[in-house]
């Protein structure tokens, strides 16, 4: 399938895009008259005659009519080129970087290609993201220097603007000029991904270097962007991601791409910037440097329709600076009228200005300003860019006029496009959710997907409705409410599913349908409507508008927050969480929703990334809730506890603590604030610290002792939630007095009975009435627990007595008490189910059975009732009933564990046991499988004649089960022992039992123990938090229990029945029944203060978080790095200025030196003219010539060298012009008449001149002179050394060898052409240990003697290589060569060295001076190894060139091995690396002839060197 897609892409590209080829030869104008004299005339297209494709079918001369006809016909693309299917597209693999993998898409297109097809190619085939901005960069095509500040502003600003807005960058795509700077910007500030770079190069096909390598259809082509400096072609920049190679049939001509590029820009400008925004894609032209054509191009951009804004970087040079000057001049005096018209479309960016904004903001602001769009359109464009900073600074300013509804539409777009910054901006500027949010907008938000595969909400709706919904189904708010209830579960009821909202929603939907139908009838019948229809339509529209703005449903941030959570927009949800009230409960709601969504995603087998993402979001909001609670607890403990249990009307009247428990947010429930609140709930109003259990038991047994207990005041209990019934029971001990006190008392009673009043907490008094004390004591959860526990233990004693003694035909008194206890308990369980919070019976049962102990109680009650029915019968039924009692009592004894869970110490172990039981399930199943496999086979082998019965199952499991615990049954292992009859196959039983015990006892049991041990150590640290989390359930269980235990609880049940009948007769509302839950009811004022406190806590939390970030180590390191970067920029600017001053000083010094020479010549000329007689003229002439004769070097000391005679001179020549030594103050060697005018001028300069660093040296070179009457030439040293100045460079790698040290040096000045100024050379000197070794041979001038022999050695190898290149056959195409080496004399320390040109590239060594060589893998390696073999054969086994090394075909530092060369003697001809016969013998043994050796005709076997052979013919130096 994938191959078919690729094939269709190839066919589409072949059918859509073309190339251009010249089909008629028309010589260029300069070649017309000299056509006959030119060997290869060139066409106007830039190609030679032989490069035209039609030459093979049509002779050239027949297609050229002559010079006269050519003058009348001009070459053009339309007439003289032919279009054919493109033959070059695919992917370029750039080979110029090892740090990053640079690939780029490319295609060769004709100059007249359609812009629509190009855009389709880029979007569909190349999968580029749709642009939201187009940055077209123009400037100089040739390399030019860019100031550091301008370069940094351009690079950072361009890439930041492109990446933050999703822009495309369009350049020429070449590796020079402004395109090169764009590539460097992408490398410095961009990303590695090709799809995120979006840097498009529009390049002429004919000017690309080696463009023929790119020919191929859908291919991957390696490309090396290295061009010849003398070539007119250009290379592609490797940092661009896509290339459009424009072909107009020409070769080597620039400019053909500009028309297609402009056409593509216009077409992109017509595209929509976003699906929700009507504006087109903005285009901005960025100008850096450039020539005269840039000025005309800028005028074309600003004068086009619609205009294209231009952004100019001032200080980049040439055209950019000219435009900046004209712009500033126009601003001052409007001198250029034509330029003044388009002044607003041109923006000048001065990077040197102190108050200049960031370059990316300036580019975007220039784009918005240049398009002349309205503020609403500019806001939409900035919204599509997601640049809220630009909108905040330049669009959303004070005093800006906005059309009605524009900001609401912008808010809707920002929410749908997930632009958090813009939502914050609009909210800060006065956007209110109550006015913005409507039913239609909320439904539009819920029905907008983030991507083509984002249908998670639809899956949830399907799960709720339990049926499949169609593809275009529109989710309603009622569906959303059902999804919220489904995810949160329990008794939660969403606002969207309540009756009043459903009625409002149905009326709104009905009137909207009426309006749509009426509008349709208007369209069909025109204006012919009856009066009644018009009135009905008007009334429907008015009622619909009233419903739309109705106060029945007020939306706020909570609705948007839930939308963001359900749509999985985490950043938007985090932002909306900060706005509005009830931040802590919203965090727990989000935690619950995300956790439930993660569970649903896992159940629906979605990808693991979605599940893990939702779990991460849940943990993030859970951590927010815990941190806000902790911050509030530190500020005010009592207010923090009120936040936990205050009723949240917007969240189904839930409390924050309820939602946290529902979310299983264990850190929240185990927090100190929550635990303190639970402790207060557990003890109620009892104020006991020591011996609390004893006091409670004593008070239960002796009720008068209750009056002696201490109780908390109402102020101490203000943060503790209470039920509505408890509030109704409150009254004071003192009786209300007449008059005003009575009114106050009645008013207080009204406030107590109405939870919606301003306050519900009564006036406190120092003491409580005795009835109030009894009520508070018996309604405390701890008292209920003790009372029920005592009753339960008594029940267990009676039940145990009942099952242990003989059962009579009729129940005894003890059994009747047990029956009463269990029946009253069953009635209480039924009451708990019907009094639970969920509305539907099915939900009530689901919530109730979700508790483990409720299931246990249900089974115990059912089993007891079954036993009770059976015991009333006689005989076996009664026996079965008694056995049922015996089994049922197990459940009631296990129920004691739940009572122990209340204790802090015992609760930890119960938590561990529960966790161990759940974890050991699968291993127990595996053990059961092993047990059954052995038990069945054992029973079948030992009892083959067993009759069918239920006892078979017992026999299969019985003995194998006890074997796990060590019971081996040794008597039954060998069934045939002692002559007993045994079944066939019984001999297998011992083997099977051994295998079973090995696996079951040694492996499975130990694995089970290991798992339990692991669970124990894990739960040892987490069990306390788990117990704290479960503590809420224990306390809430006894908080909701009735205070009398069974069976006395039946009295309360009868009271409740009578009360319920009475309330039903009164018609108690649903709202009053809801108020019976355990919540903290607060008045409006106190609730307002509580919300203000929560807001302060949230603000303090974010402030603390911000301070933590600022004080963090990472922030400090980042700030230090930014400061270091700023200091680096400053130092770079100073360094540039210093180098600039140095260059100016050098130029000034050179000019002063020339003036000095001219003045000396003028003085000499005047002296000659003023001489009156011949003697004076002769003396003047001699005086003039004497310095010239003095300028020659004195005769050097002669140095003896075999076959070489060189007489170097230590005295440097006198300069005919001022040497650079004047800059260093070496005036002792200058002519007496010369003066350093520059140094004298420096005293008048207000700053200290910078000295030029360098070393003055003399260079001696070998010269080749033709011998008289001889065919050969004679090589000798130059008679005098030429001066030069070298500056040392820091070397990144080690250049030293075993014998010599090396250093790279830069030539800053040279006399004549002895060295090239600006080039890097390598200077080599011998190691001190080598010099000390050879001082025994050469007592004087040891370094000089060694350098001369090294140079002679390389010269010999150079001559041999020259002969080798002449005699090698044609099938050996490579021609390597050795570098030229010169002798160097340093004036400062008198040291002798060698100097050669520095080689760039991968330095390799092919063999060494001991004869070892590498295994060749290419033609160059084979050629060089064959060269060593050839030198040995060519010299008749006297000479051998080894130690061949270098870069590519350039070689250096060879070792010429001579057979009879004497080491450590003065007769040594070549360098100290000569190992003589040892090296030759090693080479003969180790060399392996390759294909190049065979092509040279060298024999496979080599002989050892000859002795005492005359070698004069191999002397390469003349004496």
Catalytic residues: 1443
- Write the Ramachandran bin of 1114: left for phi over 0, alpha for psi from -120 to 50, otherwise beta: alpha
Judged by DSSP in three states, 245 sits in: strand
Distance CA 1144, CA 1134 (A): 15
Going from the C-alpha of 1330 to that of each of 1093, 1201, 1336, 1390, 1460, the distances in angstroms are: 86, 19, 11, 18, 21
Torsion of CA 337, 341, 345, 348, to 10 degrees: 20
Judged by DSSP in three states, 1193 sits in: coil
What DSSP designation does 708 have? G
Distance CA 1402, CA 1399 (A): 9
Distance CA 586, CA 578 (A): 10
Helix 292-303, helix 318-333: angle, nearest 10: 50
* Maximum Cα interatomic distance, the chain, rounded to a whole number of Å: 172
Structure tokens at 462: 């399907």
Helical spans, DSSP H, in 765-919: 770-778, 781-804, 813-834, 841-849, 852-871, 876-894, 896-900, 904-919
1235 neighbors 1156 (Cβ within 8 angstroms): yes
564 neighbors 576 (Cβ within 8 angstroms): yes
- Cα-to-chain-centroid distance, residue 935: 59
Distance CA 502, CA 493 (A): 13
Going from the C-alpha of 565 to that of each of 277, 413, 573, 597, 902, the distances in angstroms are: 25, 18, 6, 10, 36
How long, in residues, is the chain? 1519
1208 neighbors 1385 (Cβ within 8 angstroms): yes
Distance CA 109, CA 16 (A): 9
1395 neighbors 1382 (Cβ within 8 angstroms): yes
DSSP letters of 127-169?
-PPPPS-EEEEEE-SS-----HHHHHHHHHHHHHHHHHHT-EE
Going from the C-alpha of 1511 to that of each of 1273, 1461, 1506, the distances in angstroms are: 18, 11, 11
Closest CA to 487 of 675, 614, 608: 614
Helical spans, DSSP H, in 334-432: 337-341, 359-370, 375-385, 388-394, 406-416, 420-428
Cα dihedral 826, 832, 834, 838 sign? negative
What DSSP designation does 648 have? B
**If you count DSSP H runs as helices and E runs as strands, how many of each does the chain have, helices first?**
56, 30
1030 neighbors 1022 (Cβ within 8 angstroms): no
Question: How far from each other are the two terminal CA atoms of the chain, in whole angstroms?
Answer: 80
380 neighbors 426 (Cβ within 8 angstroms): no
Q: What are phi and psi of 219, to 5 degrees?
A: -125, 165
Closest CA to 1160 of 1238, 1241, 1231, 1237: 1231
Distance CA 828, CA 850 (A): 17
């Amino acid at each position: 399938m994938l191959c078919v897609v690729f094939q269709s892409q190839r066919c589409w590209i072949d059918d859509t895009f073309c190339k251009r080829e010249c089909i008629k030869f028309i010589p260029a104008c300069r070649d017309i008259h000299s056509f006959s004299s030119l060997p290869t005339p060139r066409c106007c297209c830039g190609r030679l005659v032989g490069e035209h494709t039609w030459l093979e079918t049509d002779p050239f001369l027949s297609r050229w009519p002559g010079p006269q006809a050519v003058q009348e016909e001009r070459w053009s693309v339309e007439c003289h080129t032919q279009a054919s299917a493109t033959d070059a597209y695919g992917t370029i693999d750039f080979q110029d970087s090892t740090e990053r993998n640079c690939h780029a898409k490319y295609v060769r297109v004709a100059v007249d290609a359609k812009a629509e097809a190009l855009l389709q190619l880029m979007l569909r085939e190349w999968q580029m993201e749709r642009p939201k901005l187009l940055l077209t960069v123009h400037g100089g095509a040739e390399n030019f220097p860019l100031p550091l500040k301008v370069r940094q502003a351009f690079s950072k600003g361009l890439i930041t603007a492109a990446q933050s807005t999703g822009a495309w960058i369009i350049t020429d795509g070449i590796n020079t000029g402004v395109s090169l700077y764009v590539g460097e910007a992408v490398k410095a500030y961009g990303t590695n991904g090709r799809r995120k770079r979006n840097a498009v190069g529009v390049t002429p096909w004919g000017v690309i270097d080696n463009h023929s390598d790119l020919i191929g259809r859908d291919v991957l082509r390696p490309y090396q962007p290295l061009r010849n400096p003398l070539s007119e072609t250009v290379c592609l920049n490797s940092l661009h991601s896509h290339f459009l190679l424009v072909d107009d049939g020409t070769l080597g001509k620039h400019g053909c791409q500009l028309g297609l590029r402009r056409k593509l820009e216009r077409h992109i400008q017509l595209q929509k910037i976003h699906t929700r925004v009507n504006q087109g894609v903005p285009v901005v032209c960025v100008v850096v440097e450039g020539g005269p054509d840039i000025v005309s191009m800028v005028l074309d951009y600003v004068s086009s329709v619609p205009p294209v804004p231009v952004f100019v970087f001032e200080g980049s040079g040439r055209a950019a600076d000219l435009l900046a000057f004209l712009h500033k001049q126009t601003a001052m005096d409007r001198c250029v009228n034509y330029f003044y018209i388009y002044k607003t479309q041109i923006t000048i960016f001065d990077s040197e200005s102190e108050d200049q904004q960031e370059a990316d903001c300036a580019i975007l602001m220039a784009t918005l300003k240049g398009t002349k769009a309205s503020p609403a359109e500019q806001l939409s464009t900035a919204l599509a860019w997601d640049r809220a900073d630009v909108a905040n600074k330049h669009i959303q300013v004070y005093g800006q006029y906005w059309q009605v509804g524009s900001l609401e539409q912008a808010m809707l777009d920002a929410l749908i496009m997930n632009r958090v910054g813009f939502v914050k901006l609009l909210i800060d500027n006065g956007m209110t959710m109550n006015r913005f949010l409507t039913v239609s907008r909320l439904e539009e938000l819920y029905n907008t997907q983030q991507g083509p595969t984002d249908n998670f909400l639809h899956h949830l709706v399907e799960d709720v409705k339990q049926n499949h919904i169609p593809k275009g189904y529109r989710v309603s708010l009622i569906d959303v409410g059902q999804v919220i209830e489904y995810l949160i579960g329990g008794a939660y009821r969403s606002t969207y599913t309540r009756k009043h909202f459903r009625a409002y929603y149905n009326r709104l939907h009905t009137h909207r349908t009426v309006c749509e139908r009426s509008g349709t009838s208007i369209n069909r019948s025109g204006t012919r409507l009856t009066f009644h229809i018009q009135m009905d339509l008007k009334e429907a529209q008015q009622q619909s508008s009233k419903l739309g703005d109705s106060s029945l449903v007020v939306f706020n941030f909570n609705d948007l927050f839930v939308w963001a959570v359900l749509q999985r927009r985490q950043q938007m949800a985090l932002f909306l969480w900060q706005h509005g009230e009830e931040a802590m409960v919203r965090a727990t709601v989000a935690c619950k929703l995300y956790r439930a969504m993660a569970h649903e995603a896992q159940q629906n087998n979605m990808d693991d990334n979605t599940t893990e993402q939702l779990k991460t979001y849940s943990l993030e909001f859970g951590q927010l809730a815990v941190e806000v609670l902790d911050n509030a607890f530190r500020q005010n403990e009592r207010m923090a506890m009120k936040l936990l249990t205050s009723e949240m009307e917007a969240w189904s009247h839930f409390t924050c603590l309820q939602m946290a428990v529902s979310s299983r947010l264990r850190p929240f429930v185990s927090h100190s604030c929550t635990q303190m609140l639970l402790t207060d709930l557990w003890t109620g109003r009892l104020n006991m610290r020591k011996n609390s259990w004893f006091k409670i038991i004593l008070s239960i047994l002796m009720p008068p002792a209750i009056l002696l207990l201490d109780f908390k005041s109402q102020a101490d209990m203000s943060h503790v939630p209470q039920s509505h019934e408890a509030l109704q029971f409150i009254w004071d001990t003192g009786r209300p007095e007449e008059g005003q006190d009575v009114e106050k008392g009645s008013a207080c009673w009204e406030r107590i009975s109405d939870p919606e009043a301003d306050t519900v907490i009564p006036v406190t008094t120092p003491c409580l009435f005795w009835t109030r004390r009894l009520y508070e004591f018996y309604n405390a959860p701890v008292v209920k627990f003790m009372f029920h526990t005592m009753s339960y233990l008594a029940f267990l004693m009676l039940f145990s007595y009942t099952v242990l003694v003989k059962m009579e035909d009729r129940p005894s008194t003890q059994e009747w008490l047990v029956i009463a206890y269990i029946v009253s308990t069953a009635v209480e369980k039924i009451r708990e189910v019907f009094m639970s919070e969920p509305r539907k019976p099915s939900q009530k049962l689901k919530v109730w059975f979700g508790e483990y102990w409720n299931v246990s109680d249900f089974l115990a009650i059912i089993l007891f009732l079954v036993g009770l029915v059976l015991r009333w019968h006689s005989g076996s039924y009664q026996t079965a009933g008694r056995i049922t009692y015996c089994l049922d009592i197990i459940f009631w004894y296990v129920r004691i564990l739940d009572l122990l869970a209340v204790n802090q110490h015992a609760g930890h172990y119960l938590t561990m046991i529960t966790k161990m039981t759940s974890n050991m399930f699968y291993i127990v199943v595996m053990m059961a499988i092993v047990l059954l496999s052995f038990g069945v086979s054992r029973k079948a082998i030992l009892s083959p004649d067993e009759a069918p019965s239920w006892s078979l199952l017992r026999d299969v499991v019985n003995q194998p089960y006890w074997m796990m615990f060590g019971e081996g049954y040794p008597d039954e292992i060998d069934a045939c022992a002692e002559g007993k009859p045994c079944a066939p196959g019984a001999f297998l039983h011992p083997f099977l039992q051994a295998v079973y015990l090995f696996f079951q006892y040694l492996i499975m049991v130990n694995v089970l123990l290991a798992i339990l041990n692991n669970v124990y150590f894990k739960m040892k640290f987490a069990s306390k938090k788990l117990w704290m989390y479960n503590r809420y359930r224990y306390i809430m269980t006894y908080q909701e229990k009735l205070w009398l235990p069974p069976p006395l609880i039946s009295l309360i049940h009868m009271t409740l029945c009578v009360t319920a009948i009475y309330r039903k007769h009164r018609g108690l509302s649903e709202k009053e029944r809801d108020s019976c839950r355990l919540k903290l009811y607060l008045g409006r004022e106190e609730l307002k203060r509580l919300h203000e406190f929560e807001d302060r806590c949230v603000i303090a939390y974010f402030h603390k978080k911000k301070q933590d970030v600022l004080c963090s180590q990472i922030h400090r390191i980042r700030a230090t790095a930014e400061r270091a970067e700023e200091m680096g920029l400053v130092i770079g600017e100073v360094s540039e200025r210093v180098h600039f001053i140095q260059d100016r000083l050098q130029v000034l010094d050179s000019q002063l030196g020339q003036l000095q020479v001219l003045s000396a010549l003028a003085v000499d000329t005047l002296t000659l003219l003023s001489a009156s007689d011949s003697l004076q003229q002769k003396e003047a002439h001699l005086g003039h010539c004497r310095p010239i004769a003095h300028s020659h070097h004195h005769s050097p000391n002669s140095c003896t060298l075999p076959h070489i005679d060189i007489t170097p001179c230590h005295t440097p020549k006198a300069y005919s012009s001022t040497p650079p030594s004047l800059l260093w103050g070496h005036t002792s060697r200058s002519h007496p008449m010369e003066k350093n005018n520059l140094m004298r001028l420096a005293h008048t300069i207000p700053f200290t001149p910078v000295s030029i660093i360098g070393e003055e040296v003399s260079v001696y070179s070998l010269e080749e002179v033709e011998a008289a009457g001889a065919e050969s030439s004679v090589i000798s040293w130059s008679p005098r050394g030429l001066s030069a100045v070298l500056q040392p460079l820091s070397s990144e790698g080690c250049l030293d060898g075993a014998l010599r040290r090396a250093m790279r040096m830069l030539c800053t000045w040279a006399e004549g052409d002895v060295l090239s100024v600006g080039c890097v050379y390598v200077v080599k000197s011998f190691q001190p240990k080598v010099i000390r070794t050879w001082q025994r041979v050469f007592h004087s001038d040891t370094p000089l003697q060694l350098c001369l022999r090294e140079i002679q050695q390389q010269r010999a190898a150079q001559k041999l290589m020259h002969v080798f290149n002449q005699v090698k056959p044609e099938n050996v195409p490579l021609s390597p060569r050795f570098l030229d080496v010169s002798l160097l004399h340093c004036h400062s320390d008198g040291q002798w060295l060698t100097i050669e040109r520095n080689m760039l590239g991968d330095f390799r060594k092919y063999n060494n001076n001991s004869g070892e060589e590498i295994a060749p893998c290419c033609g160059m390696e084979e050629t060089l190894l064959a060269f060593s073999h050839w030198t040995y054969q060519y010299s008749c086994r006297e000479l051998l060139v080894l130690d061949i090394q270098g870069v590519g075909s350039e070689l250096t530092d060879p070792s010429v091995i001579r057979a009879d060369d004497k080491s450590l003697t003065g007769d040594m001809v070549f360098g100290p690396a000569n190992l003589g016969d040892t090296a030759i013998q090693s080479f003969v043994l180790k060399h392996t002839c390759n294909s190049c050796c065979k092509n040279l005709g060298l024999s496979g076997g080599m002989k050892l060197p000859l002795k005492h052979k005359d070698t004069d013919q191999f002397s390469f130096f003349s004496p």
